[in-house]
Amino acid sequence: MLFDSFPDAILFNDFCGDTPLYLLYHSSKDYRILEHVLQKMPCLALQKEKTFSGQPLIKRICAPWTSKQLSLTRTDVETNATLKDRWTKLVLTVRAAHACTIGQQQDGLLTQIPELHVALEFSCPPLVLCHFVEMYPEQVSMMMAKQNCYPLHYILARCGSPRDSQSTIQSLIASFPEAVHCEVEGRLPIHMAITPGRTWLDGIRDITYAGPDNLYCPDPQSGLIPFLQAAAMECADLATVYCLLRENPAVIRSIS
């Protein structure tokens, strides 16, 4: 009721320099308060701190989940009240940031799209995406409605920095290995991984091991089988070309 009466107060600093918005992330505060606030004002998830080195709220909330030393299972989170509260508030914040980014801020949007798909579309950090895969493994095998593809295909086609997405690719394949055999506009994940210049260790190895038979399949855009597709890249990585051929030297017989 206080928020609805004077929503701007959510960003007023107290005598310690804290805002009510940030205080809502303390484990002693019921997540439903934050949920109500973000449903009314999703743009708060992108609110930047008014300091020289200030960062958006969403980045600050994601930061603790980007540690490589943080290895949590779904059971760990669900059985620990503090972790569960932190995770719930992270998801609420990601949903709000996503809603604000795509320009749809009406009530109810925060629960319409599967959590993993929201995190992918918002481009959460790779390690944060791995946590989403761990928490919602069933969503890895669900088609992304707007994109008409699986999460694996989405990350291969949309990820701006191939090297940063290796961990996410590994998690997606581990949860739904069948995705490497699914086509999107005639293209398999192996073709989509090679196109942006990924190397053997940046995801191509994991895709190849999960679907070795696809090394015979030509890319519909170039007409080349994977190892030739990699060799024809402008800045071809010879190690990647070699490893693709090493996995199945017999593909040379298909060249004619």
Q: What six digits make up the tokens of 100? A: 């604000």
Query: What φ, ψ does residue 144 adopt, rounded to 5°?
Result: -80, 115
The predicted-structure confidence for 127-137, as pLDDT tens digits, reads as follows 999 999 999 99
Reported as half-sphere exposure (CB side, CA atoms, 13 A), residue 216 has a value of 6
The helix (run of H) or strand (run of E) holding residue 122 is: helix 115-122
Cβ atoms of residues 95 and 38 within 8 Å: yes
Task: Please name the residues in contact with 172: beta carbons below 8 A apart, sequence gap of 6 or more.
Answer: 133, 140, 151, 152, 155, 179
- What are 56's strand-pairing partners? 48
| Dihedral sign (CA 112, 117, 123, 126) | positive
**Helix, strand, coil percentages, rounded to 5, for the chain:** 60, 0, 35
DSSP string across 38-87: HHH-GGGGGPBPSSTT--BHHHHHHGGGG-TT----HHHHHT-HHHHHHH
Q: Which domains does the chain have, with CATH numbers?
A: 1-112 (no CATH), 148-256 (1.25.40.20)
Whole-prediction pTM: 0.89
**Per-residue pLDDT in tens (0 to 9) along the chain, 256 residues:** 999 999 999 999 888 888 999 999 999 999 999 999 999 999 999 998 776 667 899 999 999 999 888 889 999 999 999 999 999 999 999 999 999 988 665 545 455 899 999 999 999 999 999 999 999 999 999 999 888 899 999 999 886 556 678 899 999 999 999 999 999 989 999 999 999 889 999 999 999 999 999 999 999 999 999 999 999 998 899 999 999 999 989 888 877 6
Query: What φ, ψ does residue 148 adopt, rounded to 5°?
Result: 55, 45
